[in-house]
Structure 1
Amino acid sequence: MNRLVNVLYPVALAFALGVCGQTVAAASPVPVPVVAAENFYGDVVRQLGGDHVQVTSILSNPEQDPHLFEASPKTARALQNAALVVYNGADYDPWMEKLLAASKRSDRTTIVAAQLMGRKSGDNPHLWYDPKTMPAVAKAVNTYLVTTDPAHKGDYDARLDRFLNSLKPVDDKVAALKAHFEHVPVTATEPVFGYMASAIGLDMRNERFQLATMNDTEPSAADIASFETDLTARRVHVLIYNSQASSAMTRHMLKLASNSHVPAISVTETLPAGKNFQQWMGSQLDALSAALKR
């Protein structure tokens, strides 16, 4: 899929980080208007930019299934004045590309997480659960801000260092889980947590079932039976489910897990209200740790 990115790298570092296209401008006297497709990217931009950015996040409702989102005229208007746009890519938010195509600006910069991570259409799009994604996005945002508003470089660089350091407790939790639970079999209704599970070294089962659920297709009878057997025979230690995308099949598996005394933990695709990205990741890892210890 063609990405709507201007390949104009203002500095060599921007090329290395995958930040796309922006002519260097004078120090901005007003907050930089930023649109983030997902609120967790918006949260990170706020942490990096402080008062120097004004961020609008499009997907921000923790009760909404992001896969069912449809862009509205309000969404299109939010993009019109955006100098920086951050979105996920890898077909997670395809509506962003359509909106950007309909609202072109030569001076707009886009940062696409999938490009930074070398991911493409067909890959698991839930990139923010990969511990390597947000540091890459943060560095790309920092490069844009420093290039566009060099007068505040000291503040931007200090905020980047603070953000990267604040991820260490999350990384420590991942390392601790890996030390204790590597190769432990788990399962999930969707591949939302897939990258994090891989980072921990968990043995993720029923991946064909998860892909079918994510793509809104019917899992095969064999895949359903395998999932059910894993739960009823307690071949897995934890069931991970996406609480933002409930379906009859998900509810069926949750009931089987409960009846079989397999702990189930909820993960979400949208940053919950009242938490920043680091707190969100940390709380879900804590829930996983507690479930694995049962």
Structure 2
Amino acid sequence: MTRHHRLSYAGLAAASALVLAGCASGNAAGGQQSGDDAISVVASTNVYGQIAEAVGGDLVDVTSIVTNESQDPHSFEPSARDQLSVAEADLVIENGGGYDGFIDGMIESAGIDVPVVTAVEYSHAYPENEGHDAEAEEDHAHDHDADGHDHDHIEGFNEHVWYDPHTVAHVAEAIAVELGELSPDDAEAFTANATAFAAEVEGLEESLAEIEAAHGGTGVFVTEPVPAYLLEAAGLENVTPEAFSEAVEEGQDVPPATLLEAIDLIESGDVALVITNTQTAGAETAQIVGEADGRGIPTLAFSETVPEGQTYISWMQANVEALGDALDA
């Protein structure tokens, strides 16, 4: 369990103690459903909240902690209301890999024992999955507390796994398994919903394959590694200097030599598209966008949360279509 923001969580727990004490439906042992019999699911972001809604349907009551582009999960400070939601959860869904460590902190502060689905554990790139078979991966959700996984940032690992459709399909399957264990009578419905969701994910993968057929190997510059898995699935080459994207992601200044290297790349003609993150910005990112605009290179901005009124599938399909249209231009 991560100790990220430990002092903040200790203060948060104290601030919400009276609220928690007055909740008859509190979940000290975990697994207790809410009064209306819906399974209470808490997701770190609305990306995973929306996937849970797709799998659980009317049988789940989903609360997403981070829901808009103005909130950065890397540095998010939860409220007492957020802590209360986690304390009453029957199931928690997180990204993991150091992306949303606030969730682990809230689980620890609440002192609950509930199943946790950790998305990064279903990624082919997750370091701990090297050499694991598919059956072992399906057991990850059950082993969250027992396996000793480190939820701090993993050096060299891109934790933004929701931009990898294949990983997301496995996450949906894991959610269905956990919901089925919480409500065995509804297990078949959850499995059917996850299967239908996976079929829609296959549609995304087909669209990405079309981009690869038309533009495979094309160079793309991403100011932050958020959409890197999507580019990989589309057969595109991420040509961004690693030091550039890492600095932007960490909120640090890009080293001058790295910035010059990035500008040279834009000028070289080897970059067909620039992608930024709507939730982070800085002078260096603005400079790269300006260089791209000056050379007629299209730019896109991808977010880390699902826009209001969209589903995960519709949002990701829009991203894929924008990617294809920009490369076709």
TM-score (norm 2): 0.78
Cα distance, 1:220 vs structure 2 = 2.0
Find the residue that maps to 1:121 and give its secondary structure. Answer: coil
Q: Give the corresponding residue for 1:166.
A: 200
Residues 87-115 of structure 1: CA deviation (Å, up to 9, x unaligned): 00100011111111111223x11111122
Q: Does 1:151 align with 2:185?
A: yes
Q: How does 1:1-294 map to 2 (within 5 A)?
A: 30-106=37-113, 108-117=114-123, 118-119=126-127, 121-122=154-155, 123-206=157-240, 207-294=242-329
Residues 221-276 of structure 1: CA deviation (Å, up to 9, x unaligned): 22101111122333200001111212122111111111111100111111111110
Structure 2 unaligned segments of length 5 or more: list them. 4-28, 128-152
The one-letter amino acid paired with 1:159 is: N
Find the residue that maps to 2:89 and give its secondary structure. Answer: coil
Contact in 1 for aligned 2:32/2:90 (Cα 8 Å) = no
Contact in 2 for aligned 1:234/1:262 (Cα 8 Å) = no
Question: For residues 154 and 183 of structure 1, do their structure 2 counterparts lie closer, same or farther at Cα, with a shift above 3 Å needed?
Answer: same
The one-letter amino acid paired with 1:236 is: V
Contact in 2 for aligned 1:24/1:147 (Cα 8 Å) = no
Q: How many aligned residue pairs are there?
A: 274
Contact in 1 for aligned 2:30/2:89 (Cα 8 Å) = no
Residues 159-206 of structure 1: CA deviation (Å, up to 9, x unaligned): 122111111221111111111111111101100111111122211112
Q: Relative contact order (alpha carbons < 8 A, sep ≥ 6): 1 or 2 greater?
A: 1
CA distance in 1, matches of 2:84, 2:328: 48
CA distance in 1, matches of 2:214, 2:284: 31
Q: Give the corresponding residue for 1:12.
A: none
Contact in 2 for aligned 1:25/1:149 (Cα 8 Å) = no
The one-letter amino acid paired with 2:199 is: N
Find the residue that maps to 1:245 and give its secondary structure. Answer: coil
CA distance in 1, matches of 2:31, 2:81: 29
Contact in 1 for aligned 2:221/2:274 (Cα 8 Å) = yes
Give the alignment's Cα RMSD to 1 decimal: 2.1
Runs of 4+ in structure 1 over 4 Å off: 22-26
Residues 38-62 of structure 1: CA deviation (Å, up to 9, x unaligned): 1010001011111110000001012
CA distance in 2, matches of 1:152, 1:199: 34
Question: For residues 272 and 289 of structure 1, do their structure 2 counterparts lie closer, same or farther at Cα, with a shift above 3 Å needed?
Answer: same
CA distance in 2, matches of 1:144, 1:150: 10
The one-letter amino acid paired with 1:68 is: S
* Identity between Structure 1 and Structure 2 (%): 29
Structure 1 unaligned segments of length 5 or more: list them. 4-21
